[in-house]
Amino acid sequence: MLVRDRMTPNPITLRTNSDPLAGVAICKSGGFCRFPVVDEEGRLVGIVTENDLKLFLSTAPSPGVIKRQHRVEQVMHSPVVSVPPDYPLEEAARLMIEHDIGGLPVVEQEERLVGIITRSDIFAQFVEALGANTHSLRIVVQVPNRPGELSKLAGRIAQHGGNIASVVSHSAQKPEYIRLTMRVEGVERGELLEAIGADPAVDVLHVWERELRAEGDDR
């Protein structure tokens, strides 16, 4: 999955000479949290958040008659951490964690802005990848960390009519093991546990099944 698959294309932007008050107004009307700042050619030169704008306006002195107004360039962050459209989504998430930021502008050649990717976009992909919006069994197992273990496990599940809709691997406490979180469809809980339990080297750590709400139930 690449950034281009989840980014918001052609996001709302501000110019360096935009009025911070206008930026706050756009945030309120459109529900935005951050704006890329671009120059006259659409090249990325900074980024500013709603909180940045509000804090600046609450502490900045009057711009005076000659200057007429404050400018976004007075408060924007620059240089900006950005990514290209073909950047892996998980690497974009790593950058957000590393720099403690909630979004990344997406740029092509010559720093021309083409989109923005946010934490919410990545959360949505995480939910989809783990199948959290589908009716399926979620099971966490610990298997030996060696080639072929996932293939064997998938084969046993398939023999009972089950299909692995998604799988994510993560480290176990001991390096000789690895943990797998799977979403499995088409098999009942008992049959699934029977299929997995056929291999004594596999430990079931957790099983969970999401309860589907009845139609019209918004609780």
pTM for this one?
0.75
Residues 11 and 91 in one domain: yes
Q: How far apart are CA 113 and CA 123, in angstroms?
A: 23
pLDDT digits (tens, 9 = 90+) for 6-34: 999 999 999 999 999 889 999 888 888 89
Residues 147 and 182 in one domain: yes
Position 65 pLDDT exceeds 60: no
Residues 9 and 115 in one domain: yes
Position 1 pLDDT exceeds 90: no
**218 in a structural domain:** no
pLDDT computed for residue 75 by the predictor: 93
34 contacts 17 by C-beta, under 8 angstroms: no
Residues 112 and 135 in one domain: no
Q: Print the domain residue range for 92.
A: 3-119
17 contacts 97 by C-beta, under 8 angstroms: no
Position 166 pLDDT exceeds 90: no
Q: In terms of residues, how long is the chain?
A: 219
Residues 65 and 163 in one domain: no
**103 in a structural domain:** yes
Strand order from edge to edge, sheet including 44-49 = 14-15, 34-38, 44-49
Query: Is omega for the bond preceding 200 within 30 degrees of 0, making it cis?
Result: no
**94 in a structural domain:** yes
The DSSP 8-state label assigned to residue 198 in this structure reads T
pLDDT digits (tens, 9 = 90+) for 85-136: 999 999 999 999 999 999 999 999 889 999 999 999 999 888 877 766 667 7
Residues 18 and 87 in one domain: yes
141 contacts 202 by C-beta, under 8 angstroms: yes
Q: Structural domain tally of the chain?
A: 2
98 contacts 92 by C-beta, under 8 angstroms: no
Given 55, 86, 119, the domain boundary residue is 119
Give residue for tokens 């934490």: 119
Residues 87 and 149 in one domain: no
153 contacts 202 by C-beta, under 8 angstroms: yes
**36 in a structural domain:** yes
CB atoms near residue 124 (< 10 Å): 13
Q: How far apart are CA 79 and CA 83, in angstroms?
A: 13
Q: How far apart are CA 91 and CA 108, in angstroms?
A: 17
